[in-house]
Amino acid sequence: MDKMKVHNLNVIYNKNKILKDINLDFEVGNIYGIIGANGSGKSTLLNALTQLINYTGDIKIGDIDIKNMNSKTRARKISYMRQNITPRFNLNVEEYISASRYPYNDKENLISSKSSMIKYMEICELNGFKDKNILNLSGGELQRVNYCKVLSQGADIILIDEGFSNLDIYFQIKFKKYLKDVIRKDNKIIIMVIHDINFALNYFDELIVIKNGMLYDKGSTVKVITSEMIRDVFNVESNIVENYIDFSFEEGE
């Protein structure tokens, strides 16, 4: 598997530049966090990485621009769990998850597709839900189903937009650990938008900070997360002590 390279990425919407001259490298075997204030362009960056929106610039996996990949090839490379997905179809859980395997649904891959679904439904503890209508799931149940769907897709690069918001503590711990294990075992890339700065401080290999659509900083969590950055990006005062951030909840000057 090859790394993902983003060069001179710009996104314009209604004549406004939402992302401006973003340059990033995502290395195999790393898990990346994207942080920034609301409206800074974090989700827009993920949408661009999976070709959901128009952009200028280059996004390559190895030497191949993702614009030159057909939809099935791209789906084998990149999977995306968007924030607050609202199902629109009257499907049961198993049918909904099976849609993730469309890049492999030929005679050669039918057996592996089924075994992949079974594996991830067990990991996400969904076997008792497979016949349940997705329109009748709670927020936490649906988030588990969407984790199962994005993992079942089997892509090399996994994008997750705020993936823990509806999970209880048990499943938060389970999925955080499992994603780390996936990176180590299968040499994938995970890129995740996150709002919990204390979680970001102690979890990711590297952090990317977006401010007003521009790349503010990138690097190790120790390098990136400083009281100065938190004040400048989030307008909040803080004190970082032993890998924990104590927020004063007073606006910065």
> pLDDT tens digits for 47-80?
999 999 999 999 999 999 999 999 999 999 999 9
d(CA 139, CA 118): 22
Query: What's the DSSP call for residue 92?
Result: B
Evaluate if residue 250 carries a pLDDT over 70: no
Evaluate if residue 110 carries a pLDDT over 60: no
Q: Which residues pair with 177 in a beta bridge?
A: none
pLDDT at 49: 96
d(CA 40, CA 18): 8
d(CA 126, CA 131): 10
Residue 47 Cα to chain centre, angstroms = 10
pLDDT at 252: 42
Closest among 171, 208, 222, 204 to 29, alpha carbons compared: 204
| Contact (CB, 8 A) for 170 and 144 | no
Q: What angle do CA 240, 164, 252 make, to 5 degrees?
A: 35
Evaluate if residue 106 carries a pLDDT over 90: no
DSSP run (H or E) holding 64: strand 64-65
State the pLDDT confidence band at 111, using cuts at 50, 70 and 90: low
Evaluate if residue 253 carries a pLDDT over 80: no
d(CA 140, CA 166): 5
* Proportion of the chain above pLDDT 70, given as a percent: 94
Tell me the mean pLDDT in the region 123-142. 92
| Contact (CB, 8 A) for 34 and 193 | yes
pLDDT at 15: 86
d(CA 208, CA 173): 23
pLDDT at 2: 86
